Amino acid sequence: MISKSVRTTLVAIMGLAIGAAAFAATAKKADPPKSAPAPMDSGTIAVIGDTKITEADLMSSLPPDRQQAFTQANQRIQETERGAMTEVFAQRYVEQQAKAKGISEDDFYAQEIAANKDTMPAEYKVQVAQIKQQIYDAKRMALDDLIGKRLEEKTAKDRNTTVDELVKTEVDAKVAPVTQADIDQYYTQNQRMFGGQAKEAVSKQIEDNIKNTRATAKRAEWRNSLRASNNVRVNLEVPRISVSLDDDPTRGPKDAPVQIVMFSDFQCPFCSRVEATIKQVRDTYGDKVAVTFRDYPLSFHQNAEKAAEAANCANKQGKYWEFHDSLFANQAQLSVADLKKKAEDMKLDTAAFNQCLDSGEMKAEIDKDTKEGSTYGVTGTPASFVNGRFLSGAQPYDAFKKVIDDELMMKGIAVPTAQATTPVADTTTVKR
């Protein structure tokens, strides 16, 4: 069926054609030119006398960079048109399928998303994970504040007093007084924010800022103590990504309540930085935490992939973590010669190690980790998953601690208040 707009256009064109024909029939015939110009065919874009200029002639007359620019522009047109048609076909498919199943288009999308989450392109997974995390963080902040208020109200009622009176005795009275040394230090560290004003002119402002900061921290501390004594449980759904440990090397028990999976790169400076953080985590939480290392060498780090292969070759001889630590200890020595020297220094079977490294037999294992990491939304390193909760980049210790403590509390496990004393085992899988 032809649409109304198309029919209108066709009628207009036909009208112009008929009018032109009638005019031609009544008009006096003009004398033909003495020499007719050369006819223009579809491949001709200009004519000089009898000489034709084609599109190919034009392109060949241009310098290579301009030829490439036209080629790229045409490719963009093609990609844009294909993208547009993909959207048209996809919408048509959704409409047909939803109608055939007797459901709404929203319900059909929901079914397809649930069935195809694993095949969703990584960039979309990252976007969805980031939005879910933002929603969770905002809800959790609001929920923690609400719980704190309810606990204060309950405690005030139990003690037959008001929340304001409780805050005075439990918070305000326990805030450390602000000294001149505190003001001096604050001014020195934040001088730029005062726009050149003298310290004496902003001392009262500084004193108030320090008081408010300390009061906020003291109130949070008090609320945490109330939570601990009132059996508070939080069931807010946490956004998680189901990440496989595969058979990769693990430090800590496989059944630890908190499993950290790290996708990392031996040549990445930020990965080296987070290694110190992970050591602090392991020292603090002991056997409550296990860390699995998975490879994600970045393409622009020329030595990263061979370094990953070398660590896996060392793993065949039960020396993965020693090799892993040595690589991060000196990231300037990651050439193949350096890797072989490390194996020699560690008293490995160098013939077996060199054969493993030179043959590239571990490349498939590295590629597997990288490909799988991308399906989880990993696009750079380091990328850490704490019980499936994504932490991007070289996050500080406090960021890991916040998530780990939350995971332990949700499982009803006591959060360590001091450095753990339980030794942490290194669990590796010897690959054949």
- 3-state SS of 93-162? HHHHHHHHHCCCHHHHHHHHHHHCHHHCCHHHHHHHHHHHHHHHHHHHHHHHHHHHHHHHHHHHHHCCCC
- The distance from CA 352 to its chain's CA centroid, rounded to whole angstroms, is 38
Q: Residue 32: its pLDDT value, please?
A: 52
Tell me, what DSSP letter sits at residue 53? E
Question: What kind of architecture, by CATH, is found in domain 250-427?
Answer: 3-Layer(aba) Sandwich (3.40)
Q: How far is CA 140 from the centre of its chain?
A: 21
Question: Within a 10 A sphere around the Cβ of 271, how many other Cβ atoms?
Answer: 25
Any idea which residue has 């590796």 for tokens?
428
Pairing between strand 51-54 and 44-48?
antiparallel
Alpha helices in 46-63 (DSSP H): 55-60
Residue keyed to tokens 């294909």:
82
Residue 295: in which H helix or E strand, if any? strand 289-295
Helix H or strand E encompassing 261: strand 258-264
Q: Are the beta carbons of 296 and 381 closer than 8 angstroms?
A: yes
Q: What pLDDT is recorded for position 117?
A: 82
pLDDT of residue 196: 86
Dihedrals phi, psi of 12, to nearest 5 degrees: -65, -45
Residues in the chain: 432
Measured CA to CA in angstroms, residue 423 lies from 226, 249, 287, 347, 417 at distances of: 32, 17, 7, 26, 16
Q: In this structure, which long-range contacts are made by residues 335-344, counting pairs with CB atoms below 8 Å and at least 24 apart in sequence?
A: 335/303, 336/306, 339/306, 339/307, 339/310, 342/310, 343/310, 343/313, 343/314
Give phi and psi for 166, each to the nearest 5: -65, -45
Give, in degrees to the nearest 5, the angle at Cα 146 between 140 and 152.
135
- Residue 149: the pLDDT is 97
User: How crowded is residue 275: how many other Cβ atoms within 10 Å of its Cβ?
Assistant: 21
**Which of 209, 293, 206 has the alpha carbon at shortest distance from 251?**
293
Distance CA(312)–CA(304), nearest Å, equals 13
pLDDT of residue 120: 81
CA distances to 57, 214, 217, 299, 431 from 206, in Å:
75, 12, 17, 48, 60
Q: Give the Cα separation of 45 and 73 in Å (integer).
A: 19
Q: Where are the domains of the chain?
A: 64-115, 131-229, 250-427
d(CA 153, CA 295): 50
AA letter at 230: N
pLDDT averaged over the chain?
87
Amino acid at 298: L
Q: Give the pLDDT of residue 22.
A: 40
Q: Whole-prediction pTM value?
A: 0.65
CA torsion through residues 236, 237, 240, 246, sign: positive
CA 169 to chain centre: 45
Q: Which residues of the chain have pLDDT under 50?
A: 1-30, 420-432
Structure tokens, 213 = 């900061």
For tokens 């999308």, name the residue: 109
User: What DSSP character marks residue 416?
Assistant: P
The pLDDT of residue 225: 92
Cα 53 to the center of its chain, rounded Å: 52
Dist. CA 113–CA 124, nearest whole Å: 12
Question: CA–CA separation, 245 vs 294, rounded Å?
Answer: 8
Is 359 strand, coil or helix? helix
Q: Within 10 Å of residue 341's Cβ, how many Cβ atoms?
A: 13
Pick from 311, 299, 302: nearest CA to 357: 311
